[in-house]
Structure 1
């Protein structure tokens, strides 16, 4: 994997962990389950997360 690819993967992993923690802290388990399977919904939740911080 290229260095840029590794950086992008790392950023994606970090965002995923932040989103997971955000949803768990708010007891939004059903949203987390849906986000795992639904890319469009996951993007919507990431936008929500990014607007919070």
Structure 2
């Protein structure tokens, strides 16, 4: 059974935005970001869900 990756620091999670050079770069970065930060996304979406009601 896979275990979720550890929580990453918020400064690392929101470092800024660099525009992807093309659609392949966008896709690769999107997938790697979702995998690397999945715990952060889970916590953030849960917090938004709780606040939004």
Structure-2-length-normalised TM-score = 0.35
Higher helix fraction (1 or 2): 1
Larger relative contact order (Cα-Cα within 8 Å, sequence gap ≥ 6): 2
Structure with larger Rg: 2
Structure-1-length-normalised TM-score = 0.35
